[in-house]
Structure 1
Amino acid sequence: MSEGRFDQQAWLARIGYRGSLQPTIATLNALVSAHAHTIAYESLDIMLGRTPRLDLPSLQRKMIEGGRGGYCLEQNMLFRAGLRSLGYTITSLQGRVVRGMAIDAPRPAIHMLLKVDMPEGPYLADVGFGNLAPTSALLLRPGVEQDTPHEQMRFIDVGGELTLQAKLSDAWEHIYRVIPYARYDSEYEITNWYTGTHPDAPYRSNIIVAKPGPNRTRITMFNRRVTVRYPTGAAERRHLTDDAQFRTVLREEFGLRMTDAEIRNCVDVMERKGEKGAPHPFFT
C-alpha cells in the first residue's frame, strides 16, 4: 500500500485534531484519543455483503470522506498512515483476543495493533478494539499500571506475549495477547478475508458498534442492545424496538453516515441471523 496518497489534513479535520504535529508522546496520546472518540468501531459493511477493503484510498473514502467507521484492520491501517505521515516509526503487529477467556487460551492472531517506537521506549497504539480500545498510547512494558482517559491498563507476560489487561471495577480483565513480531500487510489481507467472510464470524450476522464516550464512559451496541458503561462498573442498557431508533443511535450517538436503506438492511440481517441472547463476549 502506498502511504504517499494519504491526505493528512483531511484525516486531522475528520477527527477534529488541531494540536501539535510534532511526533511526541503527548501528540500520540492526543491523536489516539481524538481518532477513537470520532471514528466509531463498526463492522456493518460486512452485514451488507461488502468485505472491507484495506488499500489506503478505500480506507480514506470510507472513514474520512464517507463518514463511516471500521473494524480493527481498517481503523489501525488508517491510523498507521496518519502516524507515519507525521514522522512516527511504526511496526505493525497482531494480537490474540482473549476477552472473556482464559489468559493462555490458544487463540488465532486476528487483531491488528501498532507498536510506535519512541525515545522513551516502545508504545502500543490501538484505535480498533471496539469496547476496550485503549484511549491513549501504552508503554509496552510488563507490570506497569498505566492510566488512560478511560480504564487503568497494564501488560503482563504470558509465554513471551504481553497480555493487555484493563481494570474494570476492581478486577483486572484480559483483552488480548500481543505477538512481538512484525507482520506484513499480506497477512492482514488473509485475516480480513477470514473475519469478513467466514460463516461463523460474528460480524456477518450482528450489528456491532462501539465508541468511547465522555466522562470515561463507553457506549456499545450489539444488535438491539445499547449499553453505556461507567468507570464504576455500573451500566445502563436499553433495547431498540424500531427502525427510527436504530437510525438515531447509529447516526447521532455513533456518528455514522448511513442511508435508511443500509440501516434497514442491517436490521433485516440481524433479525434473520443475529444472536438472540447476551452479546458476544468480545463486545459486551
Structure 2
Amino acid sequence: MRPEIDLSAYATRIGHLQPLHPDLATVQAIVRAHVAAIAFENLDPLMGKPVDLDPLAIEDKLVHRGRGGYCFEHNRLMAEVLRAIGLTVTPVIARVLWNRPEDVPTAQTHMALLATIDDERWLVDVGFGGLTLSSALRFQAGMEQLTPHEPYRLLQGDGQWRLQAKVAGQWRPLYRFTLQPCEDVDFVVANHYVSTHPDSPFTRELMVARTVPEQRLALRNREFTMHHRDGRSEHYTLGSAREIRSVLERHFMLVLPAHPALDRRLAALSA
C-alpha cells in the first residue's frame, strides 16, 4: 500500500490554488509551479547526510520544512502527487549526458517520469537542475517542443531515447534512457552512489537551481548566475559564507538547516 501524500499541503507549498484534476492543464500548471517554488539543491549530500527516498520523508523535507532536493527527491514527490490525482506514472532511470561526450559511458544517476494523461504518454521531469523542464513534454520522437523556457526534443534510436534542449541555438544532450521497467531498488542504489560516494559531484560541490517564469537561477559553489529568457545572463561571485546563505534564502527560497556541517562547508567554499 502506497503512502498518502498530503495534496493540500503540497498545493499550498507550490502556490497552486486551483482544483487538482487528472488532466494535462493541471499537470502543466503543477510542473510550472513546482519548479518555481521548490529549488533543486544538494545540501544534504554536501553535509555528508544520506538522502532518504521514503516518500513521506521527501514530503516532510520538500513540503513541510521548506527545503529542496535533487532529482530522486523531486521526481519521487511528483510521481506520488500525480498518482494521488489519478494518473498512471512510470519512473525511468537515465544516464546523464549534459556536458559530456555522447559516446562516453555514464552511470544511471537520474530519475524522470512517464505520465499517462488522456491515454497519451508525457515526459515529466522537475529535477534536472539548471535545465529542469518547466512543462511536460509529449512523448514523441523528433518534434521540437516549446516550453516556458528552452525548446526541447526527444530522439529515439538504438533502443534508447534521448532528451535534448536547445541552448544558445544549439541542440545539447541532457540524458538518455530506455523503457526497461525499473524497480524502486534501482533508484535506491543510484541515490546511494550520488549522495554518498566521494567521486559524486553532489558530495563535493554546492549545486542549486530554481526556474521562475522569466529566469533560471543557478548557484555553483560561489558562482551565482541569473539567466534571463531574453538571453542575458548576470554573474556574481559570492565572497563569504554569509553571502552564500543570503542567496540561498532570498533567491532560492530555502529554509536552511541548523547544522554545523553546513556552516563548515559554506565557509570552505568562500575560503
TM-score (norm 1): 0.90
Local SS of the residue matching 1:245: helix
Tell me the equivalent position of 1:276: none
Tell me the equivalent position of 1:280: none
**Cα shift at 1:194:** 0.6
Gaps of 5+ in 1: 273-284
Check conservation: 1:44, 1:266, Cα contact below 8 A: no
Check conservation: 2:35, 2:212, Cα contact below 8 A: no
Tell me the equivalent position of 2:86: 87
Tell me the equivalent position of 2:23: 24
Tell me the equivalent position of 1:209: 208
Gaps of 5+ in 2: none
Give the distance between the partners of 2:124 and 2:239, measured in 1 at CA: 36
Instruction: In structure 2, give the amino acid aligned to 1:50.
Output: K
Instruction: In structure 1, give the amino acid aligned to 2:120.
Output: G
Tell me the equivalent position of 2:242: 244
Give the distance between the partners of 1:225 and 1:211, measured in 2 at CA: 14
Give the distance between the partners of 1:145 and 1:264, measured in 2 at CA: 44
Cα shift readout 1:136-164 (whole Å, capped 9, x = no counterpart): 00011111111111111111124221111
Tell me the equivalent position of 2:216: 218
**Cα shift at 1:57:** 1.9
**Cα shift at 1:207:** 1.0
Matches of residues 105-254 of structure 1 in structure 2 within 5 Å? 105-119=104-118, 121-215=120-214, 217-254=215-252
TM-score (norm 2): 0.94
Give the distance between the partners of 2:88 and 2:97, measured in 1 at CA: 28
Q: CA RMSD of the aligned region, Å?
A: 1.6
Mean alpha-carbon deviation: is it higher for 259-268 or for 186-195? Answer: 259-268
Give the distance between the partners of 1:213 and 1:28, measured in 2 at CA: 17
Local SS of the residue matching 2:101: coil
Check conservation: 1:142, 1:155, Cα contact below 8 A: yes
Judged with a 3 Å threshold, the aligned counterparts in structure 2 of structure 1 residues 258 and 197 are, in CA distance, closer, same or farther, namely same
Mean alpha-carbon deviation: is it higher for 161-170 or for 62-71? Answer: 161-170
Flag as ranges the 4+ runs of structure 1 deviating above 6 A.
Answer: none
Instruction: In structure 2, give the amino acid aligned to 1:235.
Output: S
Provide the identity percentage: 34
| 1:51 and 2:50 are equivalent in the alignment | yes
